[in-house]
Amino acid sequence: MTTSATHPATTSVQQRTTRQKRALDQLLAACADFRSAQELHAELRAGGARVGLTTVYNNLRSLADRGAVDTVRTEGGETLYRRCESESHHHHLVCRLCGRTVEISGPVVERWADEAAAAEGFIDVRHTVEIVGTCRQCVRARPRGAVRR
Ligand SMILES: [Zn+2]
Ligand SMILES: [Zn+2]
Ligand SMILES: [Zn+2]
């Protein structure tokens, strides 16, 4: 007896999960602008993928946690997603007014995060650092007198 063909149900769930993730990856790769989970879900459904909004949302959250997608929040509190330009770990400067994101590296932050975690004996550590502010264009577009230097 072999152990290779034991759990067919589990395998098919895993295969479906992988397919759903791949479809989402391809969709994110194809669009350069920010989309909401609902918009991405609608496009996946339109493309024939049988996937629920919760699954799309969860996949986006885990991609965002890994730093594979950029997120911005609209003024209405909705989160929009876009695939990161940079594949490796990085951080973002995010404009709170227009949502413009700039990818930045933070060697000092990396060292500090590793050391702080190691000092407390933590392993498998990850961190999220986003710097939110008002970008240069938005500062220029502000009415006179609104900007203090
Ligand atoms: Zn990014
Ligand atoms: Zn801006
Ligand atoms: Zn970092």
List pLDDT tens digits, range 32-62: 778 999 999 999 999 888 899 999 999 999 8
Q: Which amino acid is at 147?
A: V
CATH class of 2-141: mainly alpha
Q: How far apart are CA 84 and CA 92, in angstroms?
A: 10
Nearest alpha carbon to residue 102 among 126, 80, 78, 134: 134
Q: Which residues surround ligand 3, an ion (CB under 5 A)?
A: 110
Residue 147 pLDDT class (50, 70, 90 cuts): low
pLDDT band at 110 (very low <50, low <70, confident <90, very high): very high
Q: Measure Cα distances from 77 to 92, 134, 142 in Å.
A: 19, 17, 22
Looking at residue 9, its pLDDT comes to 56
% of residues, the chain, pLDDT over 70? 89
For residues 131 and 140, give the distance between their C-alpha atoms in angstroms, rounded to a whole number: 20
Nearest residue to 72 (alpha-carbon basis) of 97, 90, 55: 97
Q: How far is the CA of 93 from the centre of ligand 2 (A)?
A: 10
